[in-house]
């Protein structure tokens, strides 16, 4: 009876040995697999870190050195690029537009030049030349519409005559006349850049009330007629966008 338990215990030990071996060695295999996974992850992370370091070195090599010479050179390059890129935002014109603008502005300014000499105000040709650039080259501009062309020049002429009557034709009166004309055109929504030049020419010429009608109003009407005729001859253009 004493020997049987020993045999049973031996058999139980033999039966338990595979389970014990499984319990003893299976965790080590799992750990090995986990370690292998971690090793692969570390290798991937290391490769990513190496790539990022390489990119960082490239960026640092492209970064300008912190001395004054490079800063001046970078500012100069930026300035040159801004000049070169400005042509992209400028208006473009077709050959027909250039041709009609050329002919229309020539005829309009020729008529105004004769008008200015007859009226004894030859300097008025300068504001009308600026007005011709607006109405013939960029007729869709809000500053080139009939409301602005007629009333802008008219108000500039009236302001100049009033300033000459009140203060004379001193240099400071010229500045006052132009500033006042700009303010009046802004308030009346008739802003027209040549109107400021009309106010200046009026003071320089010591204009009287005849200056308002001839050559300013008459010249503006002639220029408006030429602009209307030539811009509406071109199929891709129509003038004006609005009258008042």
Cβ neighbors of 220 (< 8 A, separation 6 or more) are: 131, 149, 150, 153, 154
Nearest of 110, 155, 173, 108 to residue 135 by alpha carbon: 108
The CA distances from residue 188 to 130, 148, 152, 200, in Å, are 21, 10, 9, 19
Helix (H, G, I), strand (E, B) or coil at 185: helix
63-81 pLDDT, tens per residue?
554 555 566 777 776 676 6
Confidence of residue 21 (pLDDT cuts 50, 70, 90): very low
**Range of 47-56, 110-119, 147-156 with top mean pLDDT:** 147-156
Asked if the peptide bond before residue 215 counts as cis, ω within 30 degrees of 0, the response is yes
- Among the residue ranges 55-69, 111-125, 145-159, the one predicted with the least confidence is 55-69
* Count, residues in the chain: 244
28-54 burial, b at 16+ Cβ within 10 Å, e below that, comes to: eeeeeeeeeeeeeeeeeeeeeeeeeee
Mean of the pLDDT values across residues 206-219? Answer: 94
User: What's the pLDDT at 172?
Assistant: 97
pTM, rounded to two decimals = 0.65
């Amino acid at each position: 009876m004493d020997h049987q338990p020993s045999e049973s215990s031996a058999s139980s030990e033999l039966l338990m040995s595979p389970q014990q071996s499984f319990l003893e060695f299976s965790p080590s295999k799992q750990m090995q697999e986990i370690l292998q996974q971690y090793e692969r992850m570390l290798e991937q992370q290391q490769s990513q870190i190496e790539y990022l370091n390489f990119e960082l070195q490239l960026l640092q090599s492209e970064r300008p050195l912190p001395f004054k010479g490079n800063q001046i050179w970078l500012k100069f390059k930026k300035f040159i690029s801004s000049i070169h890129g400005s042509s992209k935002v400028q208006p473009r014109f077709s050959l027909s537009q250039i041709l009609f603008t050329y002919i229309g502005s020539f005829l309009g300014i020729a008529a105004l030049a004769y008008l200015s000499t007859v009226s004894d105000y030859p300097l008025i040709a300068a504001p009308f030349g600026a007005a011709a650039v607006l109405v013939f080259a960029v007729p869709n501009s809000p500053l080139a519409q009939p409301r602005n062309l007629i009333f802008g020049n008219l108000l500039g002429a009236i302001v100049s005559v009033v300033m000459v009557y009140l203060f004379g034709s001193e240099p400071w009166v010229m500045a006052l006349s132009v500033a006042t004309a700009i303010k009046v055109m802004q308030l009346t929504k008739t802003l027209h850049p040549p109107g400021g030049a009309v106010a200046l020419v009026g003071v320089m010429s010591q204009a009287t009330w005849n200056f308002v009608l001839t050559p300013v109003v008459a010249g503006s009407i002639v220029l408006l007629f030429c602009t209307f005729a030539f811009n509406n001859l071109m199929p891709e253009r129509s003038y004006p966008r609005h009258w008042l």
